[in-house]
Amino acid sequence: MMLETHNLSKNFGSIRAVQQMNLQIPEGSVFGILGPNGSGKSTTLGMVLGVVTPSEGSFSWFGKGDDHHVRREIGAILERPIFYPAFTAVQNLKVTAKIKGVGQERIDECLKLVGLFDRRHSKFKTYSLGMKQRLAIAAAMLPDPKVLILDEPTNGLDPTGIAEIRELIKDIARGGKTIVLASHLLDEVQKVCTEFCVLRSGKLIYQGPVSETGESLQRTTVDLAAGDQALDEVLKRIDLVESFTKMPDGHYRAEVAGECTAADLNKVLFDQGIVLSYLHTHRQSLEEKFLEILKNQA
C-alpha cells in the first residue's frame, strides 16, 4: 500500500475532527476523498503530511513509516498556490527548487507536463486561476515524487480550468504516479479517480472502487412513438424486467434483471412486436452513491 493509517485521530479541544481513521490507499491509484464540509478531509491530509499532529494513531507511507526521508517522496498542494507575482514561472520554480533542496534540471520538464512551457517567461500575475493551479502542480512535481496530494484542486476554477486540471491529473497518473485528491465535486472525482472513500463527521464510512458505483443499480428507460399500453402489458410479463414505472415525460423506467443489457431488452421487446424509439441505460452516478452512503449512515 502507498499509504495506510491505523486508528488515526485528531481532537481540537472537545471537537473530534478525525476519529479512528483506518485508510488504505493502493499504489498507482487515483484516490478520491469525499465528504461534506467539516468531515475531516483536510485534517486527515494534514496529519499524513506531517503538518498536523495526530492525537492518537499512526500512519505509514510506502510501508516505511513516517520520517523526513519518506516525505521527500510526496508532493502536495493543500492551499491556494502562492508565488511571487512579479516573477516568471521559471523564476518561481527556481525559488521552489532551492526551498525544496532539489536541482533545477526538471523545471522545463515540469512546465511542459502542466502545459505552461510556452508561458514560462510570463509573470505569475498575468496567469489565470487555472494556470496558477497548474504552476503549483509543476512545483509539487519538481522533486519527482511518488505520490501527489491535492486538496480541492479545482476549487474556484471555471469549467475550462476544471477540465484542464482533470486532464492534467489523468496525464500524471498515466505516468505512474499515485494521486490522492480531496474534492467536493463528485462528478470530477468520478471522471478521474479509480477508488474513493467517504468521510462523515471525522469517520471513514465507505471505501471502494469508483467502478462499483454503477454495479448496484442498472435501469433501462424506454419510450415508444405509439402503443404505450402494449408496452405496459409486455413489460409486466417478460422475465428480464423486475419492475418498471412510467415517468412524467412518458418514458418507461425499468429495472432489469442480472446481466441484462439494453440490447437484450431491445431484442425481447422487438420479438414481442414492440419497436422502440428511445433506449437508454442509466447507471448509478457517484453522486447518487455518495448520497446513498450518507443516508445509510445517518
List, for residues 239-294, the tens digit of each pLDDT value.
888 888 887 877 777 777 766 777 888 888 888 888 887 777 766 566 666 666 66
pLDDT of 298 higher than 60: no
Which of 213, 235, 257 is a domain's end point?
Answer: 213
Per-residue pLDDT tens over the stretch 25-52: 999 999 999 888 888 999 999 999 989 9
Whether 35 maps to a domain, the answer reads yes
Residue 227 lies in a domain: yes
Per the domain annotation, does 294 fall within a domain?
Answer: no
Strands 178-182 and 30-34: parallel
pTM for this model (two decimals):
0.74
Place of cell 478520491: 32
CATH code: domain of residue 269: 3.30.70.920
Residues 223, 175 within the same domain? no
- Whether residue 127 is predicted with pLDDT greater than 50 in this model: the reply is yes
Q: Are residues 131 and 245 in the same domain?
A: no
Is pLDDT of 4 > 70? yes
Residues 84 and 106 in one domain: yes
Q: Do residue 145 and residue 242 come from a single domain? A: no
Rounded to whole angstroms, how far apart are CA atoms 76 and 54?
19
pLDDT of residue 217: 47
For the chain, the domain total comes to: 2
Range of the domain at 100: 3-213
Q: What pLDDT is recorded for position 76?
A: 93
185 lies in the same domain as 229: no
pLDDT given at position 285: 61
Q: Are residues 259 and 123 in the same domain?
A: no
186 and 230 together in one domain: no
**Is 43 in the same domain as 138?**
yes
* Res 288: pLDDT: 65
Residue 64, in any domain of the structure:
yes
Mean of the per-residue pLDDT values for the chain? Answer: 86
For 186-241, the pLDDT digits (tens) are 777 878 899 999 898 899 988 888 877 655 444 455 665 456 667 788 888 888 88
The pLDDT of residue 220 is 55
Residue that terminates a domain, selected from 175, 198, 213 = 213
Instruction: Note the pLDDT of residue 218.
Output: 46
Do 201 and 126 lie in a common domain?
yes
Asked whether residue 255 is domain-assigned, the answer is yes
**Residue that terminates a domain, selected from 197, 213, 229:** 213
For residue 293, being part of any structural domain is answered with no
In our burial notation (b when 16+ CB lie closer than 10 A, e otherwise), range 251-269 reads bbebebeeebebeebbebb
